[in-house]
A and B are shown apart, each in its own frame.
Chain A
Amino acid sequence: MTTLPTEEITWLGAGWLGDRPVDEAWRILAAGVGVGLVVIVVSYCFTLVRIAPWRRAVLCLLRFALWLALLLILAAPTRIERTYDHPTLTTRPLAVLVDRSDSMTALDNRQQRRLDEALVKWRRLEPAAAKAFSAVKSFTFAQGIVPVANPAEAGLVPTGRTDLFASLQDVLAKAPPEGWGGVVVLTDGLDTSGVEVAEARRVTARAALTSGTPLFFVVGHNRAIEPEFFRLREFNVPPKTVPHSVVRLNAIFESYQTAASTVPVRLGVSGRERPAASVRLEAGRHLATWSAEGRVEAPGTLEFELRAGTQVARAEVKVEEPPSNRVLYDEGSLDWGYRFLADILRRNDTFKVTPVFDFPNPGIALPPGAIAQLPLPAILHDFGYIVLENIAVAQMPPAQQVALTEWVNAGGILLFLTPDDAAADGFAGSELEKILPVVFGARGRSAAGESPAPAPRQPIRTGTGSPSTPVPPVIPVTPAALRSFAWEDTPRVREIFAQTPEAGIADQTPRFLNYARVDRAKPGAEILARHPAERGPDGKGAILLAVQRYGRGKSVAFTTDALWRWRLGQPSKSRGAELFWENFFAWLGRDRNTGFYFDHPTARAPVDQDVTLHLTGAEQKTLHVEAGLGEQKIAVTELPADEGSRLFRWRPPSPGLWQIEARNDETGERARAWLSADQTPKAGELPAAAPDEALLRSLAEQTSGAILDDVPTSWRRKPPPAQLLSERRQPLWHEPWFFAVLLGVYGLEMLLRRKWQLL
């Protein structure tokens, strides 16, 4: 960050002329000059005493000089000294990791390697990378990593196996002190080391997120052909939900086929068959997604069974009344949002609000239950939600931001509310920004991305002659001045309003006055609402509400205030604001759990390969965990716990749909997961296997990276615009010497008039 003073002279910046268009103001001044000149000349042509022409000329000149000086005061030349903070864009080095395994270097029928295509793509991106990062360091990998001078260099790395995940973790671990600004991997996404892909992906994503390093992938293709297959990759079912809510199921199939085909999909809910659907598989290697949703009403357990072709998956959802929700509400500056939102949450018995009031004066009284500062990381975990409203980056030390990041990663739900550009921009590049669904730093950028946005807002200003803080103008704010959120047409938005009749959605649509501009949404974020009229840098409506999963938690960016103006403008009987917040909080927390559950268990695993299962929420409970298939029961081994989850490792001995059950004999509570075990090729190189682009894409999106085909927007990031720190205005004519000259000219004219007997 550097501070630079600038100086400029402005005209017509004040007074009634300053309120007019510049052209008009200059015309008025010019007219004043002309009219004044004519009046002066005429008045001295017809003096009461006849005087010599040169004397007339001298008097005319003196009077005209006086008139010009007065007009100069009206023109108000002012020297403006401004001090700007020029934030510098700190860049970190980039690591380029080139996969030189057999699958990347095997030739196809055109004698082309996947590596060739990846390198061609990379060469196109390389100049942009050189500009965006402080340095580019290259490594090659297959079994282990080896540093090389440039990506095209082969390096002496043993092949025969691809340690994709291990190599990525290795590079992340060997980052320079400032960390990598990003890691670009030229690969086909096939890890053939025999590791458990789901677990390795989780560990790698966590390592990247912890170090704040986005992962980018350049995928290499060629015409290698593999045998046809169709298998279930993921079956995502929320482990718990609340009664009277909508449950959304999602399955991802991966397949390779030479011709397009259709596979029937059948879903059973607690033994009852639902109408059959189908999933279309296009020719080539693809991922196909299938989803379904349904309402659940009464508490209990629902068991879902999905059958698609030969693939079978099973999962259960516990329907329970919501647990008590503890909300930590931290408000950065004096605002009315807390009074209104906290009142809404307090009316709902399931929420318990703890405000944080960071009042600077000693000896003050906090409201009952309030605390003076954000609690220690260990205590943060007692809260399910944290609301940060109007927080400035100066109020949030980096260590606290890291603690919040870890808290969200462990399952917390963070709502970040700010309607202020300056406050939002302050978080650009911060630790907290890494977990939020948006990238800050849009101030001064218009929809075109270049010209300054209208009416930039200044954080601090001072002025001479006015020691007091500038008084803001009174702007009438009526309900009519508020704008409505424009909802995106997405399943997520429909889920929020699942309880609301169509006619009631307008009543529950928030209305706002101010909003903060953000640069863009992150790749993994879901935009829920946009500005109805104003455009963001991407040309679409400016983002008002976005949400993103981060680890096991969620983060929400709310670029308006806490909607208190909307609440104050709504009839007290309408309950629109109340229902919106209740629905939104319930939707955010609907898959939060108080009991234990298997956290996103893998749906499929190869026989005779280890599978790691994460059991969350069990803490110190005594558990009995076993896997079963028919009459066969196998005890599952527990590993050391990891970040709040208990880990269990198990190796399926034979194909089939295995049920893993964790049971607490004292309470009778249990959690179940099903895993389809099948025979797959053993570890080793898969030169014919198609690139696993879906895996790479999910890893990239998790870490705010991307699959690279073109230069990503994050590499084109410009330094944030300079911010005005102080401004000092000095009217140039407001000097003693100027008034002395003025007086002197006038006095001289009067003296001469006296001397020449005009007075």
Chain B
Amino acid sequence: MCHLCRFPTPPVETRRGFFRQLAGAAVSAGLVGTGRAARAANAGDPPPAVASSGWGRILTPHPEWDFHNDREAQVVDFIREDRSLGANMRHGVADPRNLASLCQYPFLFSFDLTDIRDAREWANLREYIYRGGFLYLDNCVHVSPNITAYRTDHLTRLTRLLPASEWRRLSDDHPIYRTRYPIKPSQLPDDAHTPDDQLRALYGVFDDDRMVALVSMAHLFCGWPERPSYVEADKKQMVNIYAYARAH
């Protein structure tokens, strides 16, 4: 209580505290403004003219089914931003419990399918492939550290899933390395996690002599922060895989 005016005591504030508040307010206003400005600049983006392409991540029971989701989004952006590709890419999630969800995308990706145990989900994947869809699996050493088992398990499952299909190791001069960008397998990163050089390859699953699924042991999503110089080649190779699936 102020003895002079009998009003409550005014709050005590130092000059330093006052300027600190002032600076905080300024910074906040600036951040709010910048954020809104960016949104304003991007407002009204047109809808895509043609839903011509798509990339879906398969939702599996694996706890890390969406691992490296950010890198996957970068790959999709990489395809979208290459104007010469003319692709209007979308990136989404496909649930194998629902066939219609799978069929939203002509191209499906996953790191590991072994956690899918429901036969109906596998039947949906088979029907998706029979309708013309393409499956791309890439081993990630974090999600599936046992690389040898991974390769054997997936190739066996897929060839059993599609009777009369067969798998082949793709040679280093296979067109899948040059469908969009000329990439030599040696340009792709060496992987310390892969003990056997034979494993560091791409394996195609062929049904009626047409590739319907690809199991990649090239770890194209792995080690980006540690080996940034390889990221471009990784992305280009994934574009090659996408373009190959489309053109065959």
Which residues of A are interface residues toward B (Cβ below 8 A)? 13-15, 18, 48-50, 73, 76, 78, 332-336, 338-340, 343, 355, 357, 359-367, 370, 390, 419-422, 455, 457-459, 461, 463-466, 468-480, 513-514, 561, 564-565, 567-572, 729-731, 733-734, 739, 742-743, 746-747, 750, 754, 757-759
Q: Are B46 and A461 in contact (CB under 8 A)?
A: yes
Once bound together, how far apart are the Cα atoms of A459 and B177, in whole Å?
A: 31
| Chain A residues closer than 8 Å to B51, beta-carbon distance | 475, 477, 513-514, 565
Scan B138-162; emit 1 where CB is below 8 A from any A CB, else 0: 0000000000000000000000000
Return chain A residues, CB-CB under 8 Å to B34.
Answer: 734
- Identify which of A335, A466, A476, A572 contacts B38 (C-beta below 8 A): A466
CB distance from A749 to the nearest CB of B (A): 11
**Are B7 and A48 in touch, CB under 8 angstroms?**
yes
B52 touches A561 (CB 8 A): yes
A734 touches B37 (CB 8 A): yes
C-alpha gap A420/B48 in the complex (Å): 10
B248 CB-CB contact with A under 8 Å? yes
Per the bound structure, the CA–CA distance linking A622 and B11 in Å amounts to: 114
Is A339 a contact of B36 with CB atoms below 8 Å? no
Q: Are B47 and A473 in touch, CB under 8 angstroms? A: yes
**Closest residue on chain B to residue A480 by CB atoms:** B100
Complex formed: what's the CA distance from A474 to B25 in Å?
Answer: 37
Residues on the B chain within 8 Å of A333, using CB = 52, 85-87
Interface residues of B in 197-240 (CB under 8 A from A): 210
Would you call A477 and B247 a contact (CB within 8 A)?
no
| 15 additional contacts (CB under 8 A) given A334-B52, A480-B100 | A14-B43, A15-B40, A76-B40, A336-B52, A336-B246, A340-B132, A343-B132, A362-B182, A365-B178, A463-B42, A478-B101, A564-B132, A568-B131, A729-B40, A729-B41
Which chain A residue shows the least CB distance to B130? A572
* Given A472-B48, A731-B40, A339 and B132 contact (CB-CB distance below 8 Å): yes
Interface residues of B in 92-140 (CB under 8 A from A): 92, 100-101, 103-104, 106, 127, 130-134
A468 and B210 contacting across the interface, CB-CB below 8 Å: no
CB-CB contacts below 8 Å: B9-62 with A: 10-11, 13, 18, 22, 25-26, 29-30, 32-34, 36-53
Inter-chain contacts of A468 with B (CB < 8 A): 77, 81
Given contacts A474-B90, A478-B100, contact A572 B246 (CB under 8 A): no
B30 neighbours in A (Cβ, 8 Å): 739
- CB of B164 within 8 Å of the partner chain: no
Q: Give the one of B7, B8, B51 with max A CB within 10 A.
A: B51
B100-A731 in contact (CB<8A)? no
Residue of A nearest to B25 (CB): A746
Question: Is B182 in contact with A363, judged by CB distance below 8 angstroms?
Answer: yes
Q: What 8 A-B pairs have minimum CB-CB distances, sorted nearest first?
A: A333-B86, A14-B40, A572-B130, A365-B175, A365-B178, A734-B37, A472-B48, A363-B182
CA A278 – CA B42 in complex, angstroms?
A: 69
Check if B50 sits within 8 Å of A466, measured CB to CB.
no
- Interchain CB contact under 8 A, B53 and A367: no
Say which residue of B29, B40, B45, B81 sits within 8 Å of A743 (CB atoms): B29
Asked whether B245 is an interface residue with its Cβ less than 8 Å from the other chain, the reply is yes
* Residues from chain A with Cβ under 8 Å of B5 in the complex: 49-50
B52 and A367 within 8 A (CB): no
Contact residues of B with A, CB < 8 Å?
Answer: 5, 7-8, 10-11, 13, 18, 22, 25-26, 29-30, 32-34, 36-53, 77, 79-81, 84-92, 100-101, 103-104, 106, 127, 130-134, 175, 177-182, 210, 243, 245-248
Q: Nearest B residue to A574 by beta-carbon distance?
A: B131
| Cα distance A693–B166 in the bound complex, in angstroms | 66
Given contacts A339-B248, A364-B182, contact A568 B133 (CB under 8 A): yes
Q: Please, how many angstroms separate the alpha-carbon atoms of A48 and B9 in the complex?
A: 8
Bound-complex Cα distance A616 to B182 (A): 46
Instruction: Specify the chain B residue showing the minimal Cβ separation from A751.
Output: B18
Give complex CA distance A703, B67 in Å.
61
Nearest residue (CB) in B for A339 is: B246
Contact A750 B18 (CB under 8 A): yes
For residue A565, which residues in chain B have a CB less than 8 angstroms away from its CB? Answer: 51
Contact between A458 and B46, CB atoms less than 8 A apart: yes
CA of A421 to CA of B46, assembled, Å = 13
B81 touches A739 (CB 8 A): no
Q: A335-B52, A359-B180 are known contacts. Are A477 and B40 too (CB-CB below 8 A)?
A: no
Contacts of B90 in A (CB 8 A): 472, 474-475
Task: Name the distance in Å between B178's Cβ and chain A's nearest Cβ.
Answer: 4
Supply 30 A–B pairs (Cβ within 8 Å), ascending by A.
A49-B10, A78-B43, A332-B86, A334-B79, A334-B85, A334-B246, A335-B50, A335-B53, A336-B106, A338-B247, A343-B132, A359-B180, A361-B182, A364-B178, A364-B182, A365-B179, A370-B247, A390-B86, A420-B50, A457-B46, A461-B45, A463-B42, A464-B41, A466-B38, A468-B77, A472-B89, A478-B101, A729-B43, A734-B40, A739-B33
In the complex the two chains form, is B85's CB within 8 Å of A470's CB?
Answer: no
A731-B41 in contact (CB<8A): yes
Q: How many A-B residue pairs have CB under 8 A?
A: 207
With a cutoff of 8 Å between Cβ atoms, the chain A residues found around residue B131 in the complex are 567-572
| Complex Cα spacing A747 to B50, Å | 52
Select B7's contact among A49, A366, A370, beta carbons within 8 Å. Answer: A49
Q: How far is the CA of A72 from the CA of B111 in the complex (A)?
A: 48
Cross-chain contact B41 with A463 (CB below 8 angstroms): yes
A564 to chain B, nearest CB (A): 7
CB distance from B209 to the nearest CB of A (A): 10
**Known contacts A361-B180, A478-B100, A569-B100; is A339 also within 8 Å of B106 by CB?**
yes
Q: How far is the CA of A480 from the CA of B103 in the complex (A)?
A: 12
Q: Which residues of A contact B13 (CB under 8 A)?
A: 759
CA gap between A729 and B43 in the complex, in Å:
9
Q: Residues of B contacting A15 with CB < 8 Å?
A: 36, 39-40
Q: Which residue of B lies closest to A395 (CB)?
A: B86
Query: Judging by beta carbons under 8 Å apart, are A739 and B104 in contact?
Result: no
Q: Which residues of B contact A731 (CB under 8 A)?
A: 36-37, 40-41
**Closest CB of chain B to A726's CB: distance in Å?**
13
B47–A465 touching, CB < 8 Å: no
Q: Which residues of B contact A561 (CB under 8 A)?
A: 50, 52
Q: How far is the CB of A177 from chain B (nearest CB, A)?
A: 36
A6 and B57 alpha carbons, distance in the complex (Å): 42
Q: B44 to A13, Cβ gap below 8 A?
A: yes
A470 partner, pick from B45, B100, B133, beta carbons under 8 A: B45
Contact B50 A758 (CB under 8 A): no
Find chain B residues with CB under 8 A from A14 CB. 36, 39-40, 43
- CB pair B104 A361 closer than 8 Å: no
Q: A residues within 8 A CB of B47?
A: 455, 457, 472-473, 475
Contact indicator B81/A469 (Cβ below 8 Å):
yes
B residues less than 8 Å from A739 (CB atoms): 26, 29-30, 33
Instruction: Establish whether residues A336 and B53, one from each chain, have CB atoms under 8 Å apart when the complex forms.
Output: yes
Docked complex Cα distance between A310 and B44 (Å): 72
| Neighbouring A residues of B33 by C-beta, 8 Å | 73, 733-734, 739
Inter-subunit contact A479/B103 (CB<8 Å): yes
Question: Judging by beta carbons under 8 Å apart, are B104 and A420 in contact?
Answer: no
The residue in chain A whose Cβ has the minimal distance to the Cβ of B44 is: A13
Task: Please determine whether A13 and B25 come into contact, CB atoms closer than 8 angstroms.
Answer: no
Please measure, in the bound complex, the distance between the C-alpha atom of A365 and the C-alpha atom of B244, giving whole angstroms.
Answer: 10
Which residues of chain A come closer than 8 Å to B243, judged between CB atoms?
Answer: 334
CB distance from B169 to the nearest CB of A (A): 17
Query: Given A339-B248, A479-B100, are A747 and B53 also a contact pair (CB < 8 Å)?
Result: no
How far is B87's CA from A718's CA once the two chains are assembled, in angstroms?
Answer: 32
Query: From residue A560, how far is it (CB to closest CB) to chain B in Å?
Result: 10
Cα-based distance from A421 to B50 in the complex (angstroms): 9
Measured between beta carbons, the chain A residues less than 8 angstroms from B182 are 361-364
User: How far apart are the CA atoms of A338 and B248 in the complex, in Å?
Assistant: 8
B75 smallest CB distance to A (angstroms): 14
Q: Which residue of A lies closest to B90 (CB)?
A: A474
Tell me the smallest distance from the CB of A390 to a CB of chain B, in Å.
7
A759 and B179: CB pair below 8 A? Answer: no
Is A339 in contact with B247, judged by CB distance below 8 angstroms?
A: yes
Chain B residue contacts of A361, Cβ below 8 A: 180-182
Q: Which of B10, B48, B86 contacts A757 (CB 8 A)?
A: B10
Residues B180 and A478 in contact, CB atoms below 8 Å apart: no
